[in-house]
Structure 1
Amino acid sequence: MGAPLSSWPWAGLGAYKYVLYGPLVAKVAQEWREQGGAPTDSWCLHLLLLLALRSLIHQLWFSYANMLFFTRRRRVVPDGVDFHQIDAEWDWDNMVIMQTLLGAMAISSPLFPAMSELRAWDPRGWAVALLLHVAVSEPGFRWAHRALHRGPLFSRYHSKHHSSPVTQPLTSAYGTPLESLVLTLAMAAPLAGAFLVGAGSVSLVYGHIFAFDYLRCMGYSNVEVISHRAFQAFPLLRYLIYTPTYLSLHHQEKDSNFCLFMPLFDFLGGTVHPRSWELQKEVDQGKNDRVPDFVFLAHVVDVVSSMHVPFAFRACSSQPWTTRLVLLPLWPIAFCLMVLQVLCSKTFTVSFYCLRGALHQTWTIPRYSFQYFIPPMKDGINRQIELAILRADRMGVKVLSLAALNKNEALNGGGTLFVDRHPDLRVRVVHGNTLTAAVILNEIPGSVKEVFLTGATSKLGRAIALYLCRKRIRVLMLTLSSERFLKIQREAPAEFQQYLVQVTKYHAAKTVKTWLVGKWLSPREQRWAPAGTHFHQFVVPPVIEFRRDCTYGKLAAMRLPKDVQGLGSCEYTMERGVVHACHAGGVVHCLEGWEHHEVGAIDVDRIDVVWKAALRHGLSPP
């Protein structure tokens, strides 16, 4: 059995813990019905409003802190937040739940004033609350915080909070019940004092709680938001307000910077970290920034899935993407952001991780999948991709990998357009499809002697057909163009050309149980496959799994090595730690230090080379 107040009593409820708000909601509903409208004089209603608005403050600070395109150069700890930290902090809102329940208990007390008795504004209450915060909450919290760092108290109550290596706004509420009680007392003492002297007001309740949460989230944001010039101009200010750097040093060193919001009490107690202001200046000036070694240039799929970005909802982005009903009400907001992004010409940095000491980033151009199929937008999209490549080249990026439609053959020849236009590029442009082909080919059982290939004349289809015919596997290539088929057939060595066969109808594959799908299949077309067929896919979007008597493969992907650091988001529908094969192909290109561009047609002779290199570096099929 654990120590008292070291675990939450509702931990076993999981997502059902929110039923604890049931009595409050029921009370508000009853008052609403009795009064025939919103019960504005109900403390229960205001508690629920506070709950929603406090959660919004944490979410907005989280979103801002993780908008790398805004904050990347001012991050205090440059590391990423990994899945372990995300899972540990999953129930970060337990503190908010506890404080709401304690508030519900307080308002039921006969000593608590009715809402109708309170003024909207009383400056005396604000003065009392500020005085009590400085005189009681700040030194009281520092004393309690230092106590939590001593002996068994740290291991039993405070070590979990410090297990988060990269502070986040959600980390500010993550902890044990005892830690949350300490914070609650620090927040409630000024309010209680103001109410006891008869100077409480509605604005004080909202203002004080919001300010408390705002400052907590700011300190834990891991993004320096206070200019060092302000401290140079007003030296006293550094003792009146802490900075994200100041708090981050506490999480790293643990025996310094214990204050709540005011470093003055650490200064008086001799526990200020000596590098607090120097490091804050370095971070504010962007000296913590790091040039990525590898960039994966992606694009947004659609409006709904745009909410899967890591700075939106961590609970969503840390899981494989799937449409969630709770996100649908946010569709109008996502649509408006889509319009703004379409009008924007800037490439956004959305996520990053470290592998073998190399920094890998994902950039996204503000374009959606449907736009790639609108002919007038072709030049604009290519211009966005080109600007991203040139930006990476100026920064000193080693490899830039093109994702999905960014390397569409009809759009830019699989990246050839940019390499031809800028022959002096230092950054290596990679489409990664060599590894994609390798993944698909290595999924095919060695006993297979015949396959049916759709999308046969595409970049991947061509490479797969040429590779398989060399293995003496008969390839039925579905294409209406004899000219394109013959062109590919002539590329094969003379003794293997007989294994490439052109077909123009789906019924030609009615006895073939291995289908390689590079072109979308309708349910009607899938009916031609015999029972027991396996559909290997390299088509986006994946085909609908219509046949229950057949099996369907996933899109080509690779699992990153176990020593990857800072990875905390899933790549679209991929599971944790798994990336699309074209992404992995760029990673291998970077780790190997290859100096050639991988654009245009796939070099069939390099398929096995890239596959072996991927396995050598610890990547593996998922």
Structure 2
Amino acid sequence: MAAPLSSWPWASLGIYKYVLCGPLVAIAAREWRDGRAGGWWLHLLLLFVLRSLTYQLWYSFANMLFLTRTRRVIKDGVEFKQIDSEWDWDNFLILQALLGSVVLCRAPSFEDLPLLQLKGCVIALVLHVGVSEPLFYMAHRCFHRGYLFTHYHSIHHSSPVPQPITAGFGTLLENLVLSAAMAAPLLGPFATGHGSASLAYGYVLVFDFLRCMGYSNVEVLPSRLFEALPALRYLLYSPTYLSLHHKEKNCNFCLFMPLFDFLGKTANNKSWDLQKEISSGKKDRAPDFVFLAHVIDVFSSMHVPFVFRSLSSMPFINYIFLPVFWPIAFLFMLFQWAFSKTFLLSFYTLRGRLHQTWIVPRYGFQYFLPFAREGINDQIELAILRADKLGVKVLSLAALNKNESLNGGGTLFISKHPDLRVRVVHGNTLTAAIILNEIPMDVKEVFLTGATSKLGRAIALYLCRKNIRVLMLTLSTERFVKIQKEVPADYQHHLVQVTKYQAAQNCKTWIVGKWLLLREQRWAPPGTHFHQFVVPPVIGFRRDCTYGNLAAMRLPKDVQGLGSCEYTMERGIVHACHAGGIVHCLEGWTHHEVGAIDVDRIDVVWNAALKHGLQPV
């Protein structure tokens, strides 16, 4: 049986928990309708929104790794387990809104308050230092002992990497104590008749701001500030100071003022030396592997980890609320264009090697505009040169970044920079291997579209060597003959050129490398399975047929720090081009994988992927 006040009474409501704020909305709407908009109800709701925005903005800043990576206190990534456990982090905002509505229901109208009373601010400051800080300090130390830690506070410390959202993550009892610590500096001035509108908003938002700063896991305070003002060390904590408490648990218990830790002899001696080291921004580890991704469209750009954590931790879909944020996302993309550089999005660790995802700030449609190609190639080239300078071992190109018409599958950069130390990989070899290993052993004939592309060519050559008849859809006899000549004479008869979809009306295995409309899919017989390597994937019009997903692999179980999904992929699954780069890095191969696919290496890459724990989806 759970300990009293260890769980939230509305835990079973899920997303419907926000209905609890319904009475506040109803009363505020009624007052607004009656021309009495000066009650506390509306302002409690506004505070709820502003407080949520404070936590969201701090979260976004802390996870903009391209700005904050060198100042992160705990270098680990936030995993799915932590994200799921902190899913209802905003329960405390609902609790405090409801408590506020009870306490303030008999208070004077908000519109009767003065805008500012300095005396009230002084009283609030005195009460915070004299009541809130010692109350929180003593209560916090109690929560770290025996029964209270086991049944209440341990859940808060189960989050290995502090985040602004972690600040609100805890049990009901913990947040009741926190609410009491917040209430004293607020109620005191109002009880003595010195309350003001600015105090009601200001104290709560500053309180949340400082909580978010401490839990941000990014050292935002320069060490020079504490060196110039030594007394500030006792008056204001730093993100490093709080992270040490979160990691070691037996030190640094204060709310915001380390003074009480020094008085209680619980201050960690290395707090300020570590703060100085991290704030210098010099301690940064170069990645071993980089996956160079790209944006599909404005909506998918909101799937990046620093926007909405809950959204990025699930496969991407177009949620109904996303259009509201479209203008913000578009402006941010313009900001990225202005800087004309790749941005670090996320990272994880696998077998002791640091893997990062960088993104080229260009939309998918731009890759098909002739006048935009040179600029995109310049961005990819700069990313490769930057990776080479950092000491990155392998850089893998995402789908459109290795487009044949754009840069010849990466050959442009290798020919231009023959002395690169970083290995450039398009990952198509593993993509082909995944598709080929999906095909049942008893298949004797396949129909192949996109047959003369890099992947189509490799698939056709591989299958005909296995004595499988390949119907290659292509209008170019010249390209067909060129591919056919690459096959040993004994197997050339397995390659058959076809020019119409009707030729596959008796073939139940289609490998699709070119977009199919409904009229084209109709030629497939019932029971056909569509394997595909076309981007975007074809729409499954036929209910009497089955459709495969894009080539992808599940990462090994020992991956650490992974907390975001790769576009529409499920958790822990990455596109084949990403997985191909991982295998290249783990194997320590020293060759570039660009241009045409080496058919003889398909089985080699496939076996290496399985050896390292990657699994087909």
TM superposition score normalised by structure 1 = 0.98
Q: Is the 8 A contact 2:289 2:394 kept in 1?
A: yes
1:470 aligns with 2:470: no
1:545 aligns with 2:540: yes
For residues 373 and 532 of structure 2, the distance between their equivalents in structure 1, rounded to whole angstroms, comes to 26
CA deviation vs aligned residue, 1:441-466 (integer Å, no higher than 9, x gap) = 00000111111111111111110000
For residues 509 and 341 of structure 1, the distance between their equivalents in structure 2, rounded to whole angstroms, comes to 46
Aligned counterparts, 1:188-267, within 5 A: 188-267=183-262
Work out which of the residue numbers 313, 324, 333 in structure 1 matches 2:328. Answer: 333
Tell me what 2:75 maps to.
78
SS at match of 1:349: strand
Counterpart of 2:88 in structure 1: which amino acid? Answer: D
CA deviation vs aligned residue, 1:20-50 (integer Å, no higher than 9, x gap) = 0111111112112222xxx430211001100
Aligned counterparts, 1:211-610, within 5 A: 211-610=206-605
Q: Is the 8 A contact 1:78 1:289 kept in 2?
A: no
Q: Is the 8 A contact 2:395 2:424 kept in 1?
A: yes
Counterpart of 1:295 in structure 2: which amino acid? Answer: V
Q: Is the 8 A contact 1:310 1:569 kept in 2?
A: yes
| Runs of 5+ unmatched residues, structure 2 | none
For residues 152 and 580 of structure 2, the distance between their equivalents in structure 1, rounded to whole angstroms, comes to 44
SS at match of 2:361: strand
1:135 aligns with 2:124: no
Identity over aligned residues, as a percent? Answer: 71
Q: Is the 8 A contact 2:31 2:37 kept in 1?
A: no
Aligned-residue Cα RMSD (Å) equals 0.8
1:62 aligns with 2:59: yes
CA deviation vs aligned residue, 1:506-535 (integer Å, no higher than 9, x gap) = 111111111101111111111111111111
Tell me what 1:12 maps to.
12
For residues 565 and 617 of structure 1, the distance between their equivalents in structure 2, rounded to whole angstroms, comes to 15
SS at match of 1:113: coil
Give how far 1:336 is off: 2.0
Q: Is the 8 A contact 1:74 1:283 kept in 2?
A: yes
For residues 235 and 436 of structure 1, the distance between their equivalents in structure 2, rounded to whole angstroms, comes to 58
Tell me what 1:95 maps to.
92
Aligned counterparts, 1:165-204, within 5 A: 165-204=160-199
Counterpart of 1:453 in structure 2: which amino acid? Answer: L
Counterpart of 2:102 in structure 1: which amino acid? Answer: M
1:51 aligns with 2:19: no
Tell me what 2:29 maps to.
29
Q: Is the 8 A contact 1:224 1:243 kept in 2?
A: yes
Give how far 1:186 is off: 1.2
Q: Which moved more, 1:517-526 or 1:281-290?
A: 281-290
Work out which of the residue numbers 599, 611, 617 in structure 1 matches 2:612. Answer: 617
Counterpart of 1:50 in structure 2: which amino acid? Answer: L
SS at match of 2:153: helix
Q: Which moved more, 1:52-61 or 1:177-186?
A: 177-186
Q: Is the 8 A contact 1:318 1:576 kept in 2?
A: yes
Give how far 1:117 is off: 2.5
Give how far 1:392 is off: 0.3
For residues 479 and 575 of structure 2, the distance between their equivalents in structure 1, rounded to whole angstroms, comes to 28
For residues 113 and 386 of structure 2, the distance between their equivalents in structure 1, rounded to whole angstroms, comes to 58
Counterpart of 2:19 in structure 1: which amino acid? Answer: V
Tell me what 1:144 maps to.
139
SS at match of 1:535: strand
Q: Is the 8 A contact 1:437 1:464 kept in 2?
A: yes
Q: Is the 8 A contact 1:78 1:288 kept in 2?
A: no
CA deviation vs aligned residue, 1:553-601 (integer Å, no higher than 9, x gap) = 0000000000000000000000000000110000000000000000110
Give how far 1:223 is off: 0.4
Counterpart of 2:571 in structure 1: which amino acid? Answer: R
SS at match of 1:554: coil
For residues 296 and 589 of structure 1, the distance between their equivalents in structure 2, rounded to whole angstroms, comes to 12
Give how far 1:113 is off: 2.0
SS at match of 2:162: coil
For residues 375 and 234 of structure 2, the distance between their equivalents in structure 1, rounded to whole angstroms, comes to 51
Give how far 1:116 is off: 2.9
For residues 430 and 390 of structure 1, the distance between their equivalents in structure 2, rounded to whole angstroms, comes to 14
For residues 181 and 286 of structure 2, the distance between their equivalents in structure 1, rounded to whole angstroms, comes to 41
Structure 1: 4+ residue segments shifted above 3 A: none
CA deviation vs aligned residue, 1:388-416 (integer Å, no higher than 9, x gap) = 00000000000000001000011111111
Q: Is the 8 A contact 1:75 1:288 kept in 2?
A: no
For residues 486 and 440 of structure 2, the distance between their equivalents in structure 1, rounded to whole angstroms, comes to 25
CA deviation vs aligned residue, 1:474-524 (integer Å, no higher than 9, x gap) = 111111111111111111111111111111111111111111011111111
For residues 116 and 20 of structure 1, the distance between their equivalents in structure 2, rounded to whole angstroms, comes to 25
For residues 343 and 495 of structure 1, the distance between their equivalents in structure 2, rounded to whole angstroms, comes to 57
For residues 29 and 510 of structure 1, the distance between their equivalents in structure 2, rounded to whole angstroms, comes to 64
TM superposition score normalised by structure 2 = 0.99
Tell me what 1:154 maps to.
149
Give how far 1:239 is off: 1.2
Q: Is the 8 A contact 1:399 1:590 kept in 2?
A: yes
Counterpart of 2:600 in structure 1: which amino acid? Answer: D
Give how far 1:196 is off: 1.1
Q: Is the 8 A contact 2:351 2:559 kept in 1?
A: yes
For residues 281 and 490 of structure 2, the distance between their equivalents in structure 1, rounded to whole angstroms, comes to 61
Give how far 1:320 is off: 0.3
Give how far 1:288 is off: 3.5
For residues 418 and 315 of structure 2, the distance between their equivalents in structure 1, rounded to whole angstroms, comes to 38
Q: Which moved more, 1:230-239 or 1:303-312?
A: 230-239
Give how far 1:235 is off: 1.1
For residues 40 and 206 of structure 1, the distance between their equivalents in structure 2, rounded to whole angstroms, comes to 17
For residues 210 and 478 of structure 2, the distance between their equivalents in structure 1, rounded to whole angstroms, comes to 68
For residues 231 and 337 of structure 1, the distance between their equivalents in structure 2, rounded to whole angstroms, comes to 34
Give how far 1:185 is off: 1.1
For residues 456 and 206 of structure 2, the distance between their equivalents in structure 1, rounded to whole angstroms, comes to 59
Give how far 1:328 is off: 1.5
Counterpart of 1:212 in structure 2: which amino acid? Answer: F
Tell me what 2:109 maps to.
114
Counterpart of 1:40 in structure 2: which amino acid? Answer: A
SS at match of 2:34: helix
SS at match of 2:26: helix
CA deviation vs aligned residue, 1:248-291 (integer Å, no higher than 9, x gap) = 00011100000000111101111111110111111111244211
Give how far 1:339 is off: 2.5
For residues 589 and 231 of structure 2, the distance between their equivalents in structure 1, rounded to whole angstroms, comes to 54
For residues 228 and 22 of structure 2, the distance between their equivalents in structure 1, rounded to whole angstroms, comes to 51
For residues 311 and 516 of structure 1, the distance between their equivalents in structure 2, rounded to whole angstroms, comes to 37
For residues 496 and 236 of structure 1, the distance between their equivalents in structure 2, rounded to whole angstroms, comes to 82
Counterpart of 1:306 in structure 2: which amino acid? Answer: S
